[in-house]
Structures are given as structure tokens and as C-alpha cells.
């Protein structure tokens, strides 16, 4: 697959826990930001909090999404959230559907 080629594989969304948040990522996608080491893009979906007060405070200050080394995520416990068959229509909504599924079911 060359740079900017259209997607040809299914989405495989999973979550992991890091820094007190649950992070969503597509395990079928890797990127190489100025390096030969593969990375995954992850974004926070919800905080792991013990009280409603902590929850309120955390939701108002979510961390930014970012890149994680694929090898680092491979060592973490991950939980599958949603597999989305690749279609042109799904490309537009796959991430939104995965966010909704992760928030609705709180797998971690």
C-alpha cells in the first residue's frame, strides 16, 4: 500500500488504559511519523474515575489524542470494541461509531 492509497482493509477498533483514561485506536492501521517504527493514533474516550466529582473534572480537561508506538500498545491489555467492514460509506462514520460504542459499553 502506498502513501495516500484508498483504504482496503476493515477497521478493528480496540481500547486500552493509560494515564487514567481509556483510549480508542484502530488496530488495523499503522503510521510512520518521521520514523521507521510503526505508530498507532489513539484518542481518549472517557476517564477512569472513582467519584462523580473526579469524572466531572476529568471530562472538562481531556488530553489530546496522539501517537503511541505500536510495540508499546502491543504490551498493554487491549479490548476489542468494534470491527467495521470497509466500505466507502463506513470510512465516513467508522470512528464516530467506535467512539459511540466505547462510550456506551465502557469495556474497561
C-alpha cell at 52: 462523580
- Which helix (H) or strand (E) covers residue 1, if one does? none
Enter the DSSP assignment of 75: T
- pLDDT at position 56 is 63
- pLDDT at position 85 is 86
- pLDDT at position 2 is 59
- pLDDT at position 73 is 96
Mean pLDDT by 10 residues, the chain (108 residues): 74 94 94 92 88 69 91 95 86 91 86
Sign of the torsion angle spanned by Cα atoms 86, 84, 95, 34: negative
The DSSP string of 17-67 is: EETTEEEEEETT--B-SSSSS-EEEEEEEEE--SSHHHHHHHHTSPPPPEE
pTM of the model: 0.86
What is the CA 8 to chain-centroid distance, rounded?
19
Domain boundaries, the chain: 11-105
Amino acid at each position: 500500500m502506498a502513501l495516500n492509497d484508498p483504504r482496503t482493509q476493515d477497521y478493528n477498533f480496540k481500547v486500552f488504559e493509560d494515564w487514567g483514561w481509556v483510549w480508542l485506536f484502530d488496530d488495523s492501521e499503522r503510521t510512520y511519523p518521521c520514523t521507521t517504527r510503526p505508530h498507532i493514533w489513539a484518542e481518549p474516550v472517557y476517564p477512569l474515575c472513582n467519584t462523580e466529582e473526579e469524572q466531572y473534572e476529568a471530562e472538562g480537561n481531556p488530553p489530546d489524542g496522539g501517537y503511541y508506538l505500536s510495540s508499546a500498545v502491543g504490551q498493554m491489555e487491549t479490548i476489542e470494541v468494534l470491527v467495521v467492514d470497509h466500505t466507502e460509506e463506513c470510512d465516513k462514520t467508522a470512528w464516530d461509531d467506535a467512539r459511540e460504542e466505547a462510550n456506551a459499553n465502557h469495556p474497561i
